């Protein structure tokens, strides 16, 4: 189920208001994950642009580039 959501950025926070009146505040860095998880059709206010919004509308899913961290194990 998809739902329209108005998203406003204020510093490092994203304010979300859905078409049903629900509101939430989440870290801006997590907004793409939130959009995907809840199936939002996002309307970003202001001049903010998210690459994941274009990926969602064109392909139906969000693509992420995750950098893996390698840990060196010391042999004793």
25-61: per-residue pLDDT in tens?
Answer: 999 999 999 999 999 999 998 888 887 776 554 444 4
Joined together, the tokens standing for residue 74 give 């010391």
Joined together, the tokens standing for residue 64 give 């992420």
Strands (E), 1-76: 3-10, 13-18, 23-27, 40-44
Q: Where are the domains of the chain?
A: 3-59
pTM of the model: 0.66
- The pLDDT of 58-74, averaged and rounded, is 45
The whole-number pLDDT of residue 52 equals 78
% of the chain surpassing 70 pLDDT: 70
The whole-number pLDDT of residue 10 equals 93
Joined together, the tokens standing for residue 65 give 């580039």
% of the chain surpassing 90 pLDDT: 47
**Cβ 16 vs Cβ 52: under 8 Å:** no
């Amino acid at each position: 189920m998809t739902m329209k959501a108005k998203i406003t950025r204020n510093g490092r926070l994203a304010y979300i208001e859905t078409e049903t009146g629900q509101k939430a505040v989440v870290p801006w860095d997590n907004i793409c994950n939130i959009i995907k998880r809840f199936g939002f059709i996002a309307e970003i206010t202001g001049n903010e642009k998210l690459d994941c919004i274009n990926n969602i509308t064109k392909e139906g899913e969000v693509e992420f580039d995750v950098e893996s961290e390698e840990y060196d194990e010391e042999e004793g």
